[in-house]
Structure 1
Amino acid sequence: MAKFKYTGRDRKGKKSGTITADTKKEALTKLQKSGIRVKEIQQQAETIFTKDITIGRQVKLEHLVIFLRQFATLLQAGVTVVDATVILSEQTESKALKKALKQIELELREGRPLSEAASHQKKIFEPLFINMLRAGEATGSLDETLDDMAEHYERQYRTKQKVVSALMYPAVVGLIAAGVVTFLLVSVVPTFVDMFADFGGELPAITKFVIGASEWMQRYWYVILGLFLLFAAAVWAARQRKETKYYLDYFLLRLPVFGSLLQKAVLARMTRTLSSLFSNSVPILQAMEIVGRVVGNEVIAQVIHQSKDSLERGRSLTEPMKKHWAFPPLIHHMISIGEETGSLDAMLGKVADFYEKEVEAATDRMKSLIEPLMIVVLAAIVGTIVTSILVPMFEIFNAVQQS
C-alpha cells in the first residue's frame, strides 16, 4: 500500500494527515466516506527518512493498558466505537498507536467492524487482541472484553517488569564493574609502570599479571569491543529465524537460576493467555494457535502446537505436555482437571496466578542473593588491582627508608 498526505475539512474544521491505500482514487473514497472534504492529496515517496523504522514493540504495554481501560470506560458510558476511537487517538501519548487509531477510524466510518479494522494494524495489535475483539463483538460484550484485555496486559506487564528488573540488576552491576576495571587498567595502572621500572626490583607475580593485562587491554581493546558487537549481532540474528531461535530459547531455559525464572514467566504468560481466550469463548483450536504465536518462546510454542495436533486427532490436550521437561506436573494436572470438569479457563487462571506469584517471589530471592555476590566479585577484582599496585609501593617505601 502507498501513503497519501491530505488536507481538507470535516465537521470540526480543518484536518490534515496521512492515509494508506492502493491508489489515489481509493484514498479519496476512504476520506469522503469518513466525512472529510479533500482539498489536496498527494502520494508520499517512501525514502529512508519517511519510512517507519521501529525496533521491538511499537506500543508500550502501559500505553496499551491505558488505551484499553479508557476504551472500555467510554463504551460503558454510551459513547460509540467511532467517537471513542477519535477521542483516544487525540489523547494517547503513543505516536504509533495514534497513527493506527486514525486509520481504524477511517475504516470504522466505512462500516467495517472494529476487529477487522484493527486486524489491518498487525504491527500494533497481536492476534490475541484481534481474536478477543471478534469474540466481544460476537457476544455483544465489547466493553467487558476490553476490560478483560486490559487486565490481561496489565498482569503481563507486571510479570515482564519483574523479570526485567531481576535480569537488569546483575547486568548493570556487571557493566559498572567492567567500566571500573577498564578505567583502572587503562588509566591508573600505566602511571605506575615507569615507577616500578625505575625501582628495578623483582615485581610480585600479582603485579606482573595486572601490568600484563593493562598492556594487553591498551593494545587490543578493539578485539574486546569487536567480540562484544559480534556476539550481540549473532544473538539478534538467531532470534530472527525460528530454527535458531529455538536453540537460543532452549539454552536460556536451561540456564541455572535464570532459566527457571524465565520458564515460570513464559508459563505464566501461556496459561494467562489461554485462560483469557477460553473465558471469552474463543474456540480451543484457534486459541492454541494464537497462544503458540504470541507466547514468545519457541520451545514452549512447539509443545503448544503439538498439543493442538493432539486435540485434532481426538486425544488429550495435555499428552505432549506430560512428555516435555519444560512443563511441570502442575500444568498438565490442572489442565486435565479443567478438561474433565468443563472449567478449563478457571483452572488455567489459577495456574497463571500461581506462576505469576512464583515469578515475583523468585525475582525477590534472586535480587537478595545477587546483590551481595556482585559486591563481593567487584570488590575482589578492584582489590586485586589495588593490591598489585600497593605491594610494590610498600617495597619501594621500605627500600627508601633503609637507604
Structure 2
Amino acid sequence: MLFGDRLLREKTAAFRQLATMLAAGMTLAEALSVLSARVHEPRLRAFFVRAARQASGGRRFSDILAEYPQLFPPLNLAMVQAAEHSGRIEEIFNRLADYHEQEYRVRLMLSRETFYPKVLAAAIFVIPVAGNAIVRWLTEGTGAAVISILRALALLALVGGIPALALYLAYRSLARSEAGRAALDDVKLRLPLLGKVVHRSAMARFSRALATLYRAGVAMEKSLELAGDAAANARFRVVAREAAGLVRHGSSLGDALVAAGLADEMVLGMVRTGEQTGNLDETMDHIAAYYEDEAATATRQMAVAIVPVAVIVAAIVVGVMVLRFYTGLYAGLDGQ
C-alpha cells in the first residue's frame, strides 16, 4: 500500500502541474519534459521521459498513455481522450488531479481508522513472545530466553505461515479468472463487518469515477463501464456493465442502476433528480461523499468491534504469563 500511495500522490501532483503549465502557455512536450525532472517515482519518471520525447515528435498524449496500463488505468485514458477531442485538456487534467486526490484521502482515512486494530493484532503476538522470553530469562537465563523466541518464531511459521501461504496461493489461483475474482469479491461483500466497509468503499469509488468521467464528456455507457473498473471489485464491474448495456438500449441511468442492483431508493431518488435538473455530475459527487462517510463509519464500527476482543485476548495472554512467572519463581524458591 505504501508504494501504491506514493504513486498515487505523484500522479496527482503531475496532473495538477500539467494543467498549470499548459494553462501558462507551455507546449505539452515542454511540460512533460519539466515533469520528467520533478517526478521521483521511478516508473512515473521513466514514463515522462519517454512521453516528452514522443510528444515532441507529434504523438498524441492518449496514445502514449495507452502503452502504460499499469500506471494509467482505462479511466485516465478515457478522460485524456475526451480532453483531446473537446480541447479542454487543462480542465480535464485538473479533474484527474481532483479525482486521484480524493482517492488518496479515502485510502488515508481507511488506513488511519484501522491503525489501532492492526497494532492490537500485532501486540497479541508480540506480548506473549516477549513476555515468555522475559520470564525464561529471569528464571533460567539468557540462553533459555533465546531458545524461547526461536521456538515461538518456528511455531508461528508452522501454524500461521503454511496456512497463510496456502490461502495466498489459492487466492492467486482464483484471481486469475474473471469468474474467480467475482466469486472472491462476492465473498468479501458478504463477510460480517468487513463486507459493509468493502461495499461502501466500492460504491464511493464507483460514484466518484462516474461523476468525473461524465463531467469530462465521456459517453454515459462508457463512463459506467470505466466506473465499474474503478470500483476495484469484480462484482461491481459485472453489474456496471449490465447497467451500461441497459443505458445503451435506452434506459435512464437511474432505472439502469436499480435494475443492475447498484442503487437503493435513496440513490435512485438522487440520480433521478440529477437527471431532471441536468446536474448529474454534481449529484454523483454528493453520492460519492455520502458513501465515503459511510465507509468511514463502517470502518470505525469494525474497529470498535475488534478492539474489545483483542483486549480480552491480550489480557488472557498477560494473565497466563504472570501466572507462569510466579509459578516458576516459587518453584525456584522451593528448590533452594
Deviation at 1:172, TM superposition (A): 3.5
Deviation at 1:303, TM superposition (A): 1.2
Q: Does 1:297 align with 2:256?
A: no
Q: Does 1:312 align with 2:268?
A: no
Which moved further from structure 2: 367-376 or 267-276? 367-376
Q: Deviations over 1:367-389 (max 9, x none)?
A: 56655553343122222332244
Q: Deviations over 1:260-313 (max 9, x none)?
A: 122111111100000011111111111122222232101111110111122223
Residues 191 and 79 (structure 1 numbering): CA distance in 2 closer, same or farther, change over 3 Å?
closer
Paired position in structure 2 for 1:275: 211
Deviation at 1:141, TM superposition (A): 1.6
Deviation at 1:153, TM superposition (A): 0.6
Q: Does 1:254 align with 2:190?
A: yes
Paired position in structure 2 for 1:142: 89
1:352 to 288, 291, 294: 288
Query: How many positions carry a matched residue from both structures?
Result: 327
Paired position in structure 2 for 1:233: 169
Q: Given that residues 271 and 349 in structure 1 are in contact (C-alpha distance below 8 angstroms), is that contact kept between their aligned partners in structure 2?
A: yes
SS in 2 for 1:120: coil
Paired position in structure 1 for 2:143: none
Q: Given that residues 307 and 321 in structure 1 are in contact (C-alpha distance below 8 angstroms), is that contact kept between their aligned partners in structure 2?
A: yes
Paired position in structure 1 for 2:146: none
Deviation at 1:133, TM superposition (A): 1.1
- Structure 2 regions of 5+ residues with no counterpart? 141-148
**Higher RCO (C-alpha 8 Å, min separation 6):** 2
Q: Deviations over 1:173-210 (max 9, x none)?
A: 2123213324445x46767999xxxxxxxxxxxxxxxx
Q: Given that residues 89 and 101 in structure 1 are in contact (C-alpha distance below 8 angstroms), is that contact kept between their aligned partners in structure 2?
A: yes
Asked which structure has the greater CA Rg, the reply is 1
Residues 242 and 385 (structure 1 numbering): CA distance in 2 closer, same or farther, change over 3 Å?
farther
- Structure 1 regions of 5+ residues with no counterpart? 1-54, 195-213
Aligned residue identity for 1:333: G
Residues 106 and 303 (structure 1 numbering): CA distance in 2 closer, same or farther, change over 3 Å?
same
CA RMSD between the two structures: 3.3
Q: Given that residues 200 and 294 in structure 2 are in contact (C-alpha distance below 8 angstroms), is that contact kept between their aligned partners in structure 1?
A: yes
Q: Give the whole-Å Cα distance in 1 for the aligned partners of 2:153 and 2:244.
A: 56
Q: Given that residues 123 and 314 in structure 2 are in contact (C-alpha distance below 8 angstroms), is that contact kept between their aligned partners in structure 1?
A: no
Q: Deviations over 1:320-358 (max 9, x none)?
A: 643666644333332233334433212111101212233
Residues 324 and 99 (structure 1 numbering): CA distance in 2 closer, same or farther, change over 3 Å?
same
Percent identity, aligned pairs only, is: 23
Aligned residue identity for 2:69: K
Greater fraction helix: 2
Aligned residue identity for 1:257: L
Paired position in structure 2 for 1:72: 19
Deviation at 1:239, TM superposition (A): 3.2
Paired position in structure 1 for 2:109: 162
2:326 to 390, 393, 403: 390
Residues 183 and 339 (structure 1 numbering): CA distance in 2 closer, same or farther, change over 3 Å?
same
Residues 222 and 352 (structure 1 numbering): CA distance in 2 closer, same or farther, change over 3 Å?
closer
Paired position in structure 1 for 2:270: 334
| TM value normalised by structure 1 | 0.71
Q: Does 1:81 align with 2:81?
A: no
Deviation at 1:392, TM superposition (A): 6.8
Which moved further from structure 2: 326-335 or 159-168? 326-335
Residues 274 and 253 (structure 1 numbering): CA distance in 2 closer, same or farther, change over 3 Å?
same
Q: Deviations over 1:119-141 (max 9, x none)?
A: 22222111111111122222222
Residues 110 and 182 (structure 1 numbering): CA distance in 2 closer, same or farther, change over 3 Å?
same
SS in 1 for 2:79: helix
Q: Given that residues 162 and 363 in structure 1 are in contact (C-alpha distance below 8 angstroms), is that contact kept between their aligned partners in structure 2?
A: no
Q: Give the whole-Å Cα distance in 2 for the aligned partners of 1:192 and 1:325.
A: 62
Q: Given that residues 303 and 320 in structure 1 are in contact (C-alpha distance below 8 angstroms), is that contact kept between their aligned partners in structure 2?
A: no
Paired position in structure 1 for 2:99: 152
SS in 2 for 1:60: helix
Q: Given that residues 261 and 363 in structure 1 are in contact (C-alpha distance below 8 angstroms), is that contact kept between their aligned partners in structure 2?
A: yes
Residues 219 and 65 (structure 1 numbering): CA distance in 2 closer, same or farther, change over 3 Å?
closer
Q: Give the whole-Å Cα distance in 2 for the aligned partners of 1:234 and 1:282.
A: 38
2:64 to 94, 111, 117: 117
